Structure 1
Amino acid sequence: MSEQSMPDHPDALPAAVVDLVAALVEALNIPLPATTDADERLYHRLLERRATTVVIALGTLLKFQSDGIGNDAEWIRTRIAELPVTYAVFVPVQERGAG
């Protein structure tokens, strides 16, 4: 491990692990859908597809235990970019504006 990649705190996670966890959060943290049945179906399908992407990445990482965790994070980000939000997003009443 190079000096540049050493964590600032002895208990801190390595930067590559933090990046991988951030990619996992990005993949699975999608906005809630509007309340129509069609939007809810699209939401659930997107979440399912993104979760499958995460499972593939983590399964591969566990199986091969590669040193390229940063590559795994990038792979996840590339795949989720291919799976954008295409449904109407829920907007709480207080954010819709008065009037």
Structure 2
Amino acid sequence: MSEPDKLPADVAELLTAVVEALDLPIPSIESADERKHYRLLEDRTMHTRVALQSLLRHRDHPDLADDAAYIRRCTAEYPVTYAPFISSRADGGA
């Protein structure tokens, strides 16, 4: 039996940066927080898309570490500034 392929470290690093950029907390139910969440998701998505498009355009010379670093820099430039949703359920369970 052959071993399953493993995800290369640089690919895993890039995918981690993408997930971290797009994984935002749910906003509170306030309209202003919902708008800020939407704008933040738009900004982070745009920068992530730019990095991935660049990577696809330069397939012969990929620099996944550089692309991951770019996504992380952009993510840091656009922090969460809205109030996240807080459940009123005290037990946190079903």
Which of the five TM-score ranges fits, normalised by the shorter chain? 0.7 to 0.9
Tell me which of 38, 45, 58 is aligned to 1:44: 38
Q: What is the TM-score of this pair, normalised by structure 2? A: 0.88
The DSSP-based 3-state class of the residue aligned with 1:31 is coil
> Mean alpha-carbon deviation: is it higher for 67-76 or for 36-45?
67-76
The answer on 1:75 being equivalent to 2:65 is no
Please report the RMSD computed on the Cα atoms of aligned residues, expressed in angstroms: 1.7
Matched residues, number: 89
Q: List runs of 5+ in structure 2 lacking aligned partners.
A: none
Asked if 1:29 is matched to 2:23, the reply is yes
Unaligned runs of 5+ residues in structure 1 are 1-8
TM-fit CA distance, 1:64: 1.1
Structure 2 letter corresponding to 1:19: E
Runs of 4+ in structure 1 off by over 2 angstroms are none
Q: Which moved more, 1:37-46 or 1:60-69?
A: 60-69
Amino-acid identity (%): 44
